[in-house]
Amino acid sequence: MEKQLIALLTVTLLTSAAYYMNGKDESLTLEGQFKTWKQQFGKTYNGYEEVHRFSIFAQNLAIVMEHNSKFELGQETFTLGMNQFADLTEEEFSAIYLTLKGKVKERKNVKKYSGLSYPDTVDWKQGLTVKNQGNCGSCWAFSAAAAIEAGFTHKKKEKVNISEQEFVDCTTEKLGYESAGCNGGWMNDAFDYTVNYGVATEEEYPYKAVDQACKTGLKKKYYIDSFVDVESSNFDALHEAIANTSVSVAIKASGIWFQLYSSGIFSRTCTAKVVDDLDHGVLAVGYAKDSYTIKNSWGASWGENGYMRLALIAAKEGQCGIQIVPSYPVF
């Protein structure tokens, strides 16, 4: 708390100094920056909420400024930014967006590393669209839909916009699944649902970011043949899988550095040893010699236009647990 107060005081002093040095330009004050940020992201508050969010914004700005100054000195490998989550505490952010849950069922169709060589770099981003899950804990649905869309794009050369809302509404306990819509779920549930029931397009079944009754009578469904679980905690197995296709992965995404990530290679410690440590579903769309590239579902204003580079580390679980439970659809 003491460090936060000192950082907050530092930001206040710096912005006040800039205000007077530049002819009292209001945009340089803390209040001015908050006003501009609210306009940028369409934020409005009432009464006490305005004061509360301003306080959190100021504290987060202090963290961003301190961190980025270290980046400029070569002491950090990534930058932070005042994105759409800059008015949230870590606890609030986690409660809304980091809701991956559900027991991992027995992994039957496991793809082990073949022992063959794979390319040094892979990039599947071309042709993909970054989406935004909004205030709904549906990362699992977006990860699965993104994997299916990527498969259609790169394997079948067909552009398909898969309905995340159908997964949210229909991949439920009623059909024997453990996913719970906006309260969290698991990618393999969405894959299994697509094998058995097919999934509609977002145009026919649009995303609402709320739990609804499962719609029936949809005109056209897209299917996958099956899905594969990549060998757990195996660097080469995941690399080989990504060399073949985009892969759904679960990671540990808690912490202010993940929340406000802007650019660069994310190398902060985010240790995840077991499945229960994982709290967010994303799509691995490539790798380089120093990092994995993941496609997120928090819109293009987060990270590198909606993407993040996760550092390659020696731990068998991988950075933030990315190598623990990867899976992908088969066409």
β-pair type (291-295, 122-123): unpaired
pLDDT confidence bin for 12, thresholds 50/70/90? very low
Q: Write down the pLDDT at residue 137.
A: 95
Residue 2 has pLDDT above 70, yes or no: no
Residue 130 has pLDDT above 80, yes or no: yes
Q: Which residue has the higher pLDDT, 26 or 177?
A: 177
pTM of the model as a whole: 0.91
**Mean pLDDT in residue range 39-60:** 96
Structure tokens at 177: 């699944």
pLDDT confidence bin for 99, thresholds 50/70/90? confident
Q: Write down the pLDDT at residue 129.
A: 95
Residues 323/317, Cβ–Cβ less than 8 Å: yes
Q: Which of the residues are catalytic? A: 139, 280, 296
Q: Write down the pLDDT at residue 310.
A: 98
Position 13: which residue type?
Answer: L
Residue 218 has pLDDT above 80, yes or no: yes
Q: Write down the pLDDT at residue 126.
A: 94
Q: Write down the pLDDT at residue 104.
A: 66
Q: Which domains does the chain have, with CATH numbers?
A: 2-76 (no CATH), 95-330 (3.90.70.10)
**Percent residues over pLDDT 90 in the chain:** 86
Residue 10 has pLDDT above 70, yes or no: no
Residues 290/77, Cβ–Cβ less than 8 Å: no
User: Among 154, 161, 152, 148, which residue's Cα sits nearest to residue 123?
Assistant: 154
Q: Which residue has the higher pLDDT, 15 or 214?
A: 214
Residue 13 has pLDDT above 90, yes or no: no
Average pLDDT score, the chain:
92
E strand segments, the chain: 78-80, 110-111, 122-123, 226-230, 247-251, 261-266, 280-287, 291-295, 307-311, 327-330
Q: Write down the pLDDT at residue 229.
A: 97
pLDDT confidence bin for 299, thresholds 50/70/90? very high
